[in-house]
């Protein structure tokens, strides 16, 4: 099937002329219309020139598997992901090569399934502290609540700190940093940002200052008090390389900030979308309540196994609204992907959001149907038809942590409350690095009888 490296290869579909104008119009409407438009017009493969780069979009699981897994060594993260370097520096998400390999090896044990079981108690405790303020009924701007909750959980479990007074500052600074990032890469500023500073540049600069300040203090606090703990931060502080050197303060800052960024907003989004979907599907919500009532008792690290329907709800929410809605790579060398020759420096878009909604893999793909996961669907699917946590060597290091948190938080809330949707129309999306909702997600929580 694949052509020899020196042959021209098959002709590549992709926009030019009028269809490129359509693609640019879609981009102006937002990145999701753009990736959906490419898939609708050209199918699983398209190639085009955009913002000075050659871009490929691969929507086919076999091709995605080649990029993310089988030929992973021939790719690095894409240019857009590396735009995050300005904010998070060289942490796990953005570093490459030897630095990434060393840091991944160091961090991985703290996030393995066995290790994170100790965090279940904190996940439930912080969720109860949130619902304790809701009383019999509460109307919430829920995505805000959810972001605060997951930030608290990450700070406690991975940094062994309560830091109540700093949570808001960190949360706001990360959001500001993300807004500025969004402006730089997902709006028309992308085409001129190298010549003129975008309007949110000062906001970005202030966010970096705040994060340096707060995270620096947090690290110094843990360096001073190295009492034993299960936290990732202590492990990073105590790590030594082959020559016995500790990690620099800068590297510690980059890793800590990366975990804040990668670990809290993604999970918060998954919780928000799952509750929003349940609020709009009373039958599914009733089934969750029945399962929780039948199970009874306190929930621990095994909640996902004990609650198969709720786990299926989480999987279905991650399918329809994958928080990491797109993955990007850049070719390090000329490389063949299926019959296509991707050249060194080409950018590859892997549109998770589009693949997860493809009717070739999911019957009635836009329907929220958790039960589709109950009869072994995941095993029957091609490996890269459903991949909310990515795959290959750069698979999400927090995937077990996130699934456990998602199920425990949902179970704790829904054990006590029924959820209703207060918005007048369907949630609109505002994708940045993550798949954010546009504005708030207003939800009503009513205590169950
Ligand atoms: C529902 C929640 C989450 C989703 C959907 C998610 C998704 C992803 C995806 C798709 C990737 C791969 C990106 C790529 O290949 O370019 C990734 C990487 C990563 N995630 Fe997550 N994530 C979640 C939660 C978490 C949590 C809780 C943590 C930390 C505790 C975390 C930390 C990371 C890190 C550090 C990386 C980079 C790993 C590397 O390149 O070695 N994520 N995540």
CA distances from 30 to 26, 378, 390, 402, 432 (A): 6, 30, 23, 28, 10
Residues 317-334 have a mean pLDDT of: 97
pLDDT of 2 reads 41
Are 405 and 116 within 8 A, CB to CB? no
Residues 295-315 have a mean pLDDT of: 89
pLDDT of 168 reads 78
Residue 396 annotated as binding site: yes
User: Is the pLDDT at 6 greater than 70, yes or no?
Assistant: no
Residue 310 phi/psi, 5-degree rounding, is: -65, -35
Q: Whose CA is nearest to atom 19 of ligand 1?
A: 396
Distance in Å from the first CA to the final CA of the chain: 62
pLDDT of 9 reads 58
Tens of pLDDT along 167-205? 778 888 888 888 887 777 777 766 667 777 777 788 888
Tens of pLDDT along 123-141? 999 999 999 999 999 999 9
Give the pair of three-digit tokens for residue 218.
């947090």
Determine the residue of 262, 270, 384 to mutate for testing ligand 1's pocket, defined as the one with the most ligand atoms within 8 A of the Cβ atom: 262
Task: Output the CA 215–ligand 1 centroid distance in Å.
Answer: 20
Residues 81-100 have a mean pLDDT of: 90
Residues 408-427 have a mean pLDDT of: 95
Residue of higher predicted confidence among 357 and 162 = 357
pLDDT of 441 reads 96
| Range name among 95-104, 113-122, 263-272, 378-387 with the lowest pLDDT average | 113-122
pLDDT of 189 reads 66
Q: Is 232 in the pocket of ligand 1 (CB under 6 A)?
A: no
Tens of pLDDT along 73-83? 999 999 989 98
Q: Is 390 in the pocket of ligand 1 (CB under 6 A)?
A: yes
Residues 86-108 have a mean pLDDT of: 90
pLDDT of 301 reads 81
Task: Output the CA 133–ligand 1 centroid distance in Å.
Answer: 31
pLDDT of 165 reads 67
Task: Output the CA 394–ligand 1 centroid distance in Å.
Answer: 8
CA distances from 131 to 270, 391, 409, 410 (A): 18, 34, 11, 12
The Cβ of residue 268 has, within 10 Å, a number of other Cβ atoms equal to 28
User: Is the pLDDT at 69 greater than 90, yes or no?
Assistant: yes
pLDDT of 426 reads 92
The domains found in the chain, sorted by start residue, are: 18-447 (1.10.630.10)
Between CA 283 and CA 190 the distance in angstroms is: 44
Q: Is 397 in the pocket of ligand 1 (CB under 6 A)?
A: yes
pLDDT of 157 reads 86
Largest CA distance in the chain: 70
Are 48 and 20 within 8 A, CB to CB? yes
pLDDT of 4 reads 42
Strands across the sheet with 417-421, in order? 137-141, 442-447, 417-421
- State which ligand 1 atom lies nearest to the alpha carbon of 95: 40
Strands (E), 311-427: 327-331, 335-337, 340-342, 347-350, 417-421
Residues 56-77 have a mean pLDDT of: 97
* Length reported for the chain: 449
Three-class SS state of 334: coil
The per-residue pLDDT of the chain, averaged, comes to 89
Determine the residue of 398, 405, 433 to mutate for testing ligand 1's pocket, defined as the one with the most ligand atoms within 8 A of the Cβ atom: 398
CA 266 to centroid of chain Cα atoms: 4
Task: Output the CA 308–ligand 1 centroid distance in Å.
Answer: 23
Q: Is 104 in the pocket of ligand 1 (CB under 6 A)?
A: yes
- β-strands 335-337, 442-447: how paired? unpaired
Give the pair of three-digit tokens for residue 386.
């459903």
Tens of pLDDT along 233-289? 888 888 887 788 888 888 999 998 898 888 889 999 999 999 999 999 999 999 999
């Amino acid at each position: 099937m694949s052509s020899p490296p020196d042959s021209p290869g098959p002709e590549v579909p992709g926009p030019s002329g009028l269809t490129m104008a359509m693609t640019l119009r879609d981009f102006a409407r937002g990145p999701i219309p753009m990736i959906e438009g490419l898939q609708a017009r050209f199918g699983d493969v398209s190639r085009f020139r955009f913002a000075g780069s050659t871009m490929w979009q691969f929507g086919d699981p076999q091709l995605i598997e080649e990029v993310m897994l089988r030929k992973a060594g021939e790719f690095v993260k894409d240019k857009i992901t590396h735009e995050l370097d300005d904010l998070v520096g060289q942490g796990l998400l953005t570093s490459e090569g030897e630095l990434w390999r060393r840091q991944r090896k160091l961090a991985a044990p703290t996030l393995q399934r066995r290790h994170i079981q100790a965090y279940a108690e904190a996940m439930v405790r912080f969720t109860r502290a949130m619902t304790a303020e809701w009383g019999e009924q509460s109307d919430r701007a829920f995505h805000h609540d959810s972001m605060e909750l997951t930030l608290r959980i990450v700070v406690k479990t991975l940094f062994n700190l309560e830091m109540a007074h700093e949570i808001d500052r960190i949360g706001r600074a990360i959001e500001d940093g993300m807004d500025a990032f969004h402006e730089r890469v997902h709006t028309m500023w992308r085409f001129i940002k190298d010549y003129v500073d975008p309007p949110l540049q000062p906001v970005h600069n202030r966010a970096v200052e705040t994060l340096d300040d707060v995270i620096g203090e947090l690290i110094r606090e843990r360096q001073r008090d190295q009492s034993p703990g299960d936290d990732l931060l202590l492990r990073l502080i105590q790590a030594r390389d082959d020559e016995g050197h500790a990690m620099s303060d800068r590297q510690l800052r980059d890793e800590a900030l990366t975990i804040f960024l990668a670990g809290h907003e993604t999970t918060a989004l998954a919780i928000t979308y799952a509750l929003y979907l349940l609020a709009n599907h009373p039958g599914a919500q009733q089934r969750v309540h029945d399962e929780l009532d039948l199970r009874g008792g306190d929930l621990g690290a095994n909640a996902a196994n004990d609650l198969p329907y709720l786990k299926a709800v989480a999987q279905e929410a991650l399918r329809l609204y994958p928080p990491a809605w797109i993955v990007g790579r850049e070719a390090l060398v000329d490389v063949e992907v299926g019959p296509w020759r991707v050249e060194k420096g080409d950018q590859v878009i892997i549109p998770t959001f589009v693949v997860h909604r493809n009717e070739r893999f999911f019957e009635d793909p836009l329907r929220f149907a958790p039960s589709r996961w109950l009869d072994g669907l995941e095993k029957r699917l091609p490996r890269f038809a459903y991949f909310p946590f990515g795959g290959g060597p750069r698979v999400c290091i927090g995937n077990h942590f996130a699934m456990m948190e998602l199920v425990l938080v949902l179970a704790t809330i829904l054990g006590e409350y029924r959820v209703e949707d207060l918005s007048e129309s369907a949630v609109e999306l505002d994708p940045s690095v993550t798949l954010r909702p546009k504005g708030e997600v207003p939800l009503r929580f009513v205590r169950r009888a």
